[in-house]
Amino acid sequence: MSLVVVKLGGAVAEDAAEMVLALALEHDVCVVHGAGPQITAEMERFGIEVCFVGGRRVTSEAGLAVVRSSFAAVNRAVCAAIGPRALPMFGDEVGLHAAHVGPLGFVGDPLPSRPPAIVEAVRDGRIPVVAPLAVGPLNVNADEAAAALAVGLEADRIVFVTDVPGLLVGDAVAPEIAVGDAVRLLDDGELEGGIVPKLRAAVSAARNGVDAVIGDTAVVA
């Protein structure tokens, strides 16, 4: 069967279980989830500064502990919502690799990876549910982690599930955007917020032969 990587934003993670199970009727599926809202709330609760640079969260040692605990909570909830086929995994434990970005603390740029544990789980009909920490451990952007896994696993498609309908161009959702146009929008600074790392990740996946979709917007190589 074809392999689909599904990236779930932290705000929609539990609600997307039905969609994941529907995909799993016809495809092998690997899920990567975020936990952005949960991490921010917990960092604020513990008095840890919340700071982003280029869509990546500056992560101190204390912040890394919050990141892990927040990922663990979301991972449990997503696995419970999906049911018995779900298999919880942490990227740093199964072999998601990243290049360390020292100025941001315990942060990495994820690299295309093919963790044997994920391959084996998919082969056995399970649905890996991956928390996006990389070996180090390093905190990595969940969108970029999903794209790196999609490329490394040679997935057929990556689907970014989010609380927005897709890429807004003007007042309308674009049904598709070419990689070149997407890069121009990113380079010109015409976009802001969570769509930026999603579009970057989708561009990376599309350039490496993986069909990429953000909501209702296809990113076409």
In the chain, the domains with their CATH numbers are: 3-156 (3.40.1160.10)
DSSP state string for 101-151 = -GGGBSBEEE-----HHHHHHHHTT-EEEEE-EETTTEE--HHHHHHHHHH
pLDDT at 55 (0 to 100): 73
Closest by alpha carbon to 85, among 122, 54, 110?
Answer: 122
pLDDT at 186 (0 to 100): 87
pLDDT at 13 (0 to 100): 66
Cα→Cα distances 35→78, 141, 157, 187, Å: 11, 10, 22, 26
pLDDT at 56 (0 to 100): 83
Dihedral of the alpha carbons of 188, 106, 61, 196, in degrees to the nearest 10: 30
**pTM to 2 decimals?**
0.93
Task: Tell me the per-residue pLDDT of 141-156, one tens digit each, with 9 for 90 and over.
Answer: 999 999 999 999 999 9
Average pLDDT, the chain: 92
pLDDT at 44 (0 to 100): 96
d(CA 129, CA 126): 9
Coil, strand or helix at 161: strand
Contact 8, 33 (CB under 8 A): yes
DSSP 159: E
Q: Which residues of the chain have pLDDT under 70?
A: 10-11, 13-14
